[in-house]
Amino acid sequence: MTTFASHTKVPAASLQALADVTDPLGTTWVSFGSVAWTATGSAPVLGNGQLTANYMATAHTYIYFLRLVWGSTTTGGTGDWRFNAAFNLANANNYMGGVIFDTSATKYYPAAAYLLDTTPHIQAIGSWTAAGVVGNVSATHPITFASGDILTLVGSFQK
């Protein structure tokens, strides 16, 4: 860590030390355009659905937002879903909250996700059905996803 004395000019060679503090208040959302959506079985296909992820970085924290909107040609593959993240994390055991919205039934289902620190991806997205069956999120759990259904995840993590 570089320390600078009070009221001194920062040498040009030391400006890299300030690189991580370009937005210390976290006011800028950055689009994470290349979100990879995978599954433990066959691969999902986004088709005409929408998958967006954004993150905001402050000096010590990442805030992450992911949204999947199912389209009429979207298929969920087989197995549990995974999404990559835009950053590495300082600590293991990172969790995110979320919600799944079933448009045809107008119902919401809570979701929780586990984010690995070493290979930045979201895995083990868990939820439960209306009948209380707990399991990892897939094309058929906790609902059978159809056009207009939405998965949203959000979390904040230490850098």
Q: Over 50: is that where the pLDDT of 107 sits? A: yes
Using the predicted structure, report yes or no on whether residue 51 has a pLDDT greater than 90: yes
- pLDDT band of residue 3 (cuts 50, 70, 90) is low
pLDDT (0 to 100) of residue 17: 47
Using the predicted structure, report yes or no on whether residue 131 has a pLDDT greater than 60: yes
Gap between the Cα atoms of 61 and 90, Å rounded: 10
Give CA separation, 131 vs 76, 127, 147, in Å.
Answer: 22, 11, 22
The dotted CATH code for 19-158 is 2.60.90
Nearest Cα neighbor of 37 from 26, 27, 49 is: 49
Which position has the token pair 């990559």?
84
* In the chain, where the domains are located: 19-158
Confidence of residue 96 (pLDDT cuts 50, 70, 90): confident
- Does the reported pTM lie above 0.85? no
Check if the beta carbon of residue 100 is closer than 8 Å to that of residue 111: yes
Paired tokens of 60 = 């010590």
What confidence tens digit (pLDDT) does each residue in 139-148 have?
A: 999 999 999 9
Tokens at residue 146, please? 């159809």
